[in-house]
Structure 1
Amino acid sequence: MPSAERLESFIAAVEGGDHVKAIEDYYTENASMRENQAEPRRGRPALMANEAAVLARTASVVSKCVRPALVNGDHVVIRWIFDFTGKDGRNMHIEELAWQRWEGDRIAEEEFFYDPAQMRPR
């Protein structure tokens, strides 16, 4: 179960914009991530590589946690808002829920739930 301080530190890291470093610092070596029940990506190096690839396609991303983050033992749910600006100048506003299972002070499993229609640039 994450301490309140560790969870706040994770949220601050994501809001600070270094998403790849947040994965390195807050996920287990064998962590998995999946989106809308798709096949999960597995292993911290693969998660970091995928995140880096996503970020390489953007000019900027602003990340915001909508409070409160919900904690029940080893399970955490965070509502995120991401505002992406693509290198082409197009903007995307994405709201999602991240369901996480923590092992101690690191995330072992994470699943994102969002409406894929939000992925269309505005």
Structure 2
Amino acid sequence: MPRRETLEAFIAMVEAGDHADAIAQFYTEDASMQENLKPPREGRDALIAREQKVLERAKTVRSTCIRPVLVEGDTVVIHWIFEFEFRDGSTSRLEELAHQTWRGEKIWRERFYYDPAQLTSA
């Protein structure tokens, strides 16, 4: 179960735009992420590499945690809004729920729930 201070530090890092560093610092080496019903991506290094690839396409990313954050033992649910301005001039807004399973002070499993229709650029 994560300490409240750890969870707040994670949220602050994401809101500051340090997405890849947040994965490096707050995820277990064998962590996985899953988008809706797609197969999970596994391994912290692979998760960092994919995050960096997404961020390279973006001119700016604004990340906002919508509170409250739900915590029950090792399970955490965070409501996020991500607003992207891409280098090609397009924009995108993604609202999602991140369902996390923590191992102590690190995220072990994470699954994102969102409407895929949001992924179309404005």
Residue of structure 1 equivalent to 2:90: 90
For 1:57 and 1:39, how far apart are their aligned partners in 2? 23
Residue of structure 2 equivalent to 1:67: 67
Residue of structure 2 equivalent to 1:19: 19
Aligned-partner SS, 1:52:
helix
* Structure 1 letter corresponding to 2:74: D
Taking only the aligned residue pairs, the percentage that are identical comes to 55
For 1:58 and 1:88, how far apart are their aligned partners in 2? 8
Question: Any idea what the Cα deviations from partners look like across 1:41-92, whole Å, max 9, x if unmatched?
Answer: 1000000001011111111100000000000000000000000001111111
For 1:113 and 1:38, how far apart are their aligned partners in 2? 11
Aligned-partner SS, 2:121:
coil
Aligned-partner SS, 2:38:
coil
Question: Any idea what the Cα deviations from partners look like across 1:77-120, whole Å, max 9, x if unmatched?
Answer: 00000000011111111100000000000000000000011011
Aligned-partner SS, 2:109:
strand
Question: Any idea what the Cα deviations from partners look like across 1:4-60, whole Å, max 9, x if unmatched?
Answer: 110000000000101000000000000000101211110000000010111111111
For 1:104 and 1:75, how far apart are their aligned partners in 2? 11
Unaligned runs of 5+ in 1: none
Residue of structure 2 equivalent to 1:33: 33
TM-score, with length taken from structure 1: 0.99
For 1:116 and 1:84, how far apart are their aligned partners in 2? 15
Aligned-partner SS, 2:51:
helix
For 1:60 and 1:37, how far apart are their aligned partners in 2? 28
Pairing 1:104–2:104 present: yes
For 1:93 and 1:43, how far apart are their aligned partners in 2? 27
TM-score, with length taken from structure 2: 0.99
- Count of matched residue positions in the alignment of Structure 1 and Structure 2: 122
Question: In angstroms, what is the RMSD of aligned CA positions?
Answer: 0.5
